[in-house]
Structure 1
Amino acid sequence: MKEGLLLNRYIADFNSDEIEKEYHDVLVIGSGIAGVYTALEIPEEYDIAILTKETIEISNSVLAQGGIAVSLDKEDSPELHFKDTLYAGAGLCDEESVWVLVNEAADNIEKLLEYGVNFDRKKQGELAFGREAAHSKNRIIHAGDTTGKEVCDKLISVVRTRNNIKIKERTFAIDLITEDNKCKGILAYDEDTASKKLYLSNVVICATGGFGQLYSRTTNPEVATGDGICLAYRAGARLMDLEFIQFHPTVLYHPLNKSFLISEAVRGEGAILRNIHGKRFMPEYHELCELAPRDVVSRAIFQEMKKTGATNVFLDITFKDKEYLENRFPNIYKTCLSYGIDMAKDYIPVAPAEHYCMGGIRTDAFGRTGIEGFYACGETACTGIHGANRLASNSLLEGLVFGRKIGQEVSKILKDSGKRKFDISIKYSANRSEATVNADEVIRHIQKIMTEHVGIVRNREGLLLAKQEVGNYFDLIKNMKNSTLRDYEMQNIVLLATLIIESALEREESRGAHYRTDFNKTDDVNWKRNIIKKLEI
């Protein structure tokens, strides 16, 4: 697919006069930290619906282990947090957005404490701060090694007490409904009844997370198929920085589990990386060793595996005793033990896996996308904070800070305009043919293509091969009749893979998480800029 090529505006045919409708003041798509927190930041006088693809408890946020970066320690400052974020972002961070992030962090953490989130504390009762890669200070607040779950559990428990917020589980957002570049609601697929439904609203907030399921190995849950990014693109929103995809360096590599994250906080507590011969190798790659930026560590592991012909390396924290490890990393310790690995005695087999996408729906600091009434936050958005490589533990913070700002913005709009119940009359039909492919098989092949050619290390030859193979699928399915959830996911995965490959081909340099062996230097003269993808409709 090329920019400007005709693309069906909607991936499902529908007649608004013939399907069920439901009205709300605000629609939130996604139930991770960004979506749930944003819903809580909108005044209770407004009627809100949270649409979530699975149950409300399933999201990337729930799986986040490390913590939330915030400069609360007396030896730290927002200025230092700002500097570290820019360093990790490899020259592409939006400085204005980063200033907002670091300066509003403390207020949002205070709000979490009010909601009852239990972060780890020192014996004196003060918040405990950990350190992760590329941070110059200890500033990561955490709840054991299940920070995301603790935060989400508390926020969801508060949501359940709010009479104005309705949770719509197993409801898949197919497409954003627009008229004259104005948001009108969401066309959704009810998974229980296998039928389409219209949710109408002047305000839609997209917080659908990332797209890890484009890769064979990922820390993301099965729901992370890039649906929000794709529905935004089809509606005419701009996408940015899609070529920058972060691979987490240390993901458990075990025959029974190759997706369990071994938190960066383990390296923050002193763990070192060894190759299959037991040799520590990170000092040969970067002065910060195991605490170098994630892209550096992932590439170092990749190179070490290539040199030794191994499928993994090892993480060694055996210098810490069992009691300490059970206390600091209870979930990681328990999970490793279930696979016969005792962290206090054994090296942990690890290898990189897809973890986070820096790119997404381009927004400003208030989550505005350029489509009136349509906002985005969390991993599905691209505020420019992460640049070419996300600084560890800035992701949950981003969802909080910009979720709150969207809440403030939406509150003002609703206050000025009042509650407006409206109707629409849209009949959309494309010339579609019956499916000739198996969606599961297509998705598995796309994952293989992306992992082999659009992963940690890339080059023009591999990217062109990937573009051709994915392009064949695009042509095959673009006019396909979609009738199941998996069909819709396949459409989104093929579209997004195409856009990522195009962006990776276009950027002829290496920067942050985008590394090309044929352009292995950073080129600030020609490439210190963002790549934007926008469909002309």
Structure 2
Amino acid sequence: MRTFSTDCLVIGAGLAGSAYALHAARAGHAVELLSLSGPLVANSDWAQGGIIYETAHDPAQLSRDIIDASDGTSNPAAVEQLVREGPLAVKELLLDELAVPFDRDAAGHLDLGREGGHHGRRIIHAKDTTGHAILTAVAARVDATPRITRRLGWVAVDLLTLSHNAASPADKYEPLTCFGAYVLDTHSGEVAAIVAKKTILATGGLGQIYLHTTNQPGSVGHGVAMAYRVGARLIDLEYVQFHPTVFAGAGGQRFLITEALRGEGAVLVNGRGQRFMDDKHPLGSLAPRDIVARAIREELAASGEPCVYLDLSALKPEFVRERFPSIYDRCLAAGVDITRERIPVVPAAHFACGGVHTDLAGRTNIRGLNAIGETACTGLHGANRLASTSLLECLTSAKITAQADAADLARGDFRLAQPRPWKSAARIADPLLLRQDMLQIQHTMWNYAGIIRSYRRLTRARRILLELREEIQSFYRDRQVTRELIELRNAVQTALLVVHAAALNPESRGAHYVSEESA
């Protein structure tokens, strides 16, 4: 088994992981950055709407909007940190250093957009491909920065801890400590160990444990599952946000339809053309996502129709084509001209508001292990995330955690060990069974732990997933490690954790809605 040593091991190369790598390398530390696939294969790349920036005129209103969207459950300290530090992080990295091409008006000022839950225009954007514009610039700078080694196609298998993986028997008596990870090089099939002074989970979300999602392939809660297996504290996993508007045209194609369309004046209507959101919330179609998603589900249940619609008739066709070119092109390719026709939409799993619990400097309860971005949970989002806070959270948490880690490393505050050798199996898992098991997880979560839950549904989901986990673990023990097997193993564990958290919480708040209809 090959063993590598580094200062910082970053598991995940989306915006949070990439931004952390930049900050850590500039502080003089060696960084190993694991990418599942290419530099732009991350949920960050698919973010459409934008990133919050303009808060100077009324930062207190942004704080209120975040807390209101969370149904009053956000951590006030985390909210205050984001509102105070977030715009500065955007200015320093994205505007001043990288000059990300955000949209501007004729006078050269940043064009400010609005999305659901916001009481004002404060979101900067690059057409409707903001995440792609940001991650492209950040990834290019990562690849040009000394001391960062990007490992394409390398997948973390398990975290290394003194309790579980150290060669010396005496190390198990140390406090719970992470010192890196076993990782799979998918090109060679070899499992190696990367020993690190700091290990940072930046694996993104968990949407792919659901049948319908806006998330990239592979987003199955890798960080949550790995952290759980070594004893990290998890929090708020029941709060899985469903985005209300995902394209639902003929042919089964699914892709995100940004909330910024509603911010510019589009409205939700049912099959009869009625604006059903106006009597659901004072903000109508711009209500927080959890409210809109449930309203759509109720509308569909009552009508029996397969989708509702986004009506853009209040927007000029030339504005739609200029402001939302990507959505216009993708819908047109699917047979819908959004300058003339309504967009068919349904909700889909979108964002994990909970995750690996950290303090405001990214620290978990395990020494040497941090989490940032969507993988982490500081309580910022509470029970429901406000639109366009996710990219801002990635930048802010990456910067603050890297600064705290640099201070720790300067003090020599770490504990390393020699890892035990990895034992590889010879047998190969049946790919048909792997695909079928993943589909069973996704159908189970969609049907029984989706937008509306009940005790009976969650009980059934838990029973199905427990049996499936046993089957998968028997596979895992005597089969060669592959990316597909790692994803399946982590998906079933994450799904069980979400179901368990949902079953423990009888109170409907934000994205977690409990129905008594089948209790």
1:359 paired with 2:354, answer yes
Return closer, same or farther for 1:315/1:439 CA change in 2, 3 Å cut-off: same
Alignment partner of 1:56: what SS?
A: coil
Which residue of 303, 310, 315 corresponds with 1:315? 310
CA deviations 1:345-390 (Å, max 9, x no partner) are 1000110011101011000100001111111100111110000000
Could you say what secondary structure the match of 1:283 adopts? coil
**C-alpha deviation, 1:79, in angstroms:** 1.1
CA distance, structure 2, for counterparts of residue 160 and residue 431 of structure 1: 34
Aligned residue number for residue 484 of structure 2: 486
CA 1:430/1:515 → structure 2, altered by over 3 Å: closer, same or farther?
Answer: farther
Q: CA shift at 1:318, angstroms?
A: 2.3
CA separation in 1, counterparts of 2:399 and 2:286?
31
Quick one: distance in 2 between partners of 1:394 and 1:513? 16
Q: SS at 2:194's partner residue?
A: strand
2:177, 2:415 within 8 Å by CA — same for their partners in 1?
no
Question: Which residue of 1 is the match for residue 90 of structure 2?
Answer: 109
For 1:467, the equivalent position in structure 2 comes to: 462
Deviation of 1:443 after TM superposition, in Å, equals 0.7
The one-character-per-residue Cα deviations of 1:24-72 (angstroms, maximum 9, x if unpaired) are: 1111111111000111112432211110111121000000000112334
Distance 1:273 1:335 in 2: 20
One-letter code of the match for 2:349?
A: E
TM-score w.r.t. the length of structure 1 is: 0.89
Q: Which consecutive residues of structure 1, in runs of 5 or more, have no partner in the other structure? A: 1-18, 521-537
What is the distance in 2 between the residues matched to 1:149 and 1:224? 17
Q: Identity over the aligned pairs, expressed in percent?
A: 38
Equivalent of residue 143 in structure 1, options 120, 126, 130: 126
Measured after TM superposition, the shift of residue 236 of structure 1 is 1.1
- Aligned residue number for residue 272 of structure 1: 267
Map of 1:162 onto structure 2: 145
Q: Give the Cα–Cα distance (whole angstroms) in 1 for the partners of residues 389 and 231 of structure 2.
A: 28
Residue deviations 1:413-446 (CA, integer Å, cap 9, x gap)? 222229x996504257799999688111011011
Q: How does 1:62-211 map to 2 (within 5 A)?
A: 62-72=45-55, 76-111=57-92, 112-113=94-95, 114-179=97-162, 180=174, 181-211=176-206
Where does residue 368 of structure 2 map in the other structure?
373
Aligned residue in 2 for 1:410:
405
Partner Cα distance (2:114, 2:416) in 1? 50
| 2-structure distance, mates of 1:334, 1:429 | 49
SS in 2 for 1:216: coil
- Whether contact under 8 Å (2:53, 2:122) holds in the other structure is yes
Q: What amino acid sits opposite 2:5 in the alignment?
A: Y
Mapped partners of 1:434, 1:342: distance in 2: 47
Equivalence map 1:508-519=2 (5 Å): 508-518=506-516
Kindly provide the amino acid, as one letter, of the partner of residue 123 in structure 2: I
Cα-to-partner distance string for 1:170-201 (whole Å, 9 max, x where unaligned)? 00101110114222111011111112111111
CA RMSD of aligned residues (A): 2.0
> Aligned residue for 2:392?
397
CA distances 1:124-144 after superposition (whole Å, capped 9, x unpaired): 211111111111111111111
Which residue number in structure 2 is paired with residue 457 of structure 1? 452
Change (3 A) 1:510 1:170: same
Structure having the higher helix fraction is 2
Would you say the 8 A contact 1:20–1:198 is kept in 2? Answer: yes
**Deviation by residue 1:289-325 (Cα, 9 ceiling, x = unmatched):** 1011100000111111111101101101123222111
Change (3 A) 1:221 1:425: closer
> Equivalents in 2 of 1:269, 1:22: separation in Å?
50
In 2, Cα distance between the equivalents of 1:191 and 1:255? 35
1:223 equivalent in alignment to 2:218: yes
The verdict on how the C-alpha distance between 1:516 and 1:453 changes in structure 2, with shifts beyond 3 A counting, is same
Listed one character per residue, the Cα deviations across residues 116-160 of structure 1 (whole Å, up to 9, x for unaligned) are: 212111222111111111111111111111110011000011111
Show the counterpart of 2:13.
Answer: 31
CA contact (8 A) 1:59 1:223 kept: no
Q: Secondary structure at the match of 2:24?
A: coil
Which one of the candidate residues 277, 280, 288 is aligned to 1:285? 280
Which of residues 19, 37, 40 in structure 1 aligns to 2:22?
Answer: 40
User: Matched residues in 2 for 1:516 and 1:396: separation?
Assistant: 29
Q: Which residue of 2 aligns with 1:424?
A: 418
In structure 2, relative to structure 1, the CA distance for the partners of 1:40 and 1:66 (3 Å cut) is same
Aligned letter for 1:211? Answer: L
Report Cα offsets for 1:215-236 as digits up to 9, x if no partner. 1110001020111111111111
Secondary structure of the residue aligned to 1:198 is: strand
Where 2:359 maps in the other structure, the secondary structure is: coil
Q: Which moved more, 1:88-97 or 1:469-478?
A: 469-478
Structure 2 equivalent of residue 495 of structure 1: 493
2:192–2:422 CA contact under 8 A, matched in 1: no
CA distance in 1, matches of 2:269, 2:259: 15
- Partner letter of residue 254 of structure 2? S
- Partner SS for 2:116: coil
Q: Distance in 1 between matches of 2:132 and 2:58?
A: 27
Aligned residue in 2 for 1:341:
336
In structure 2, the partner of 1:526 is: none
How high is the TM-score relative to the length of structure 2? Answer: 0.93
Match status 1:296 vs 2:295? no
Are 2:179 and 2:415, in contact at CA under 8 Å, matched by a contact in 1?
no
On the 8 A contact 1:243/1:503 being kept in 2, the answer is yes
Aligned residue type for 2:499? I
Change (3 A) 1:42 1:310: same
Measured against aligned partners, the alpha-carbon deviations of 1:475-533 in whole angstroms (never above 9, x if no partner) come to 2233432422211211111111111111111111211000111299xxxxxxxxxxxxx
Task: Give the secondary structure class of the aligned counterpart of 2:278.
Answer: helix
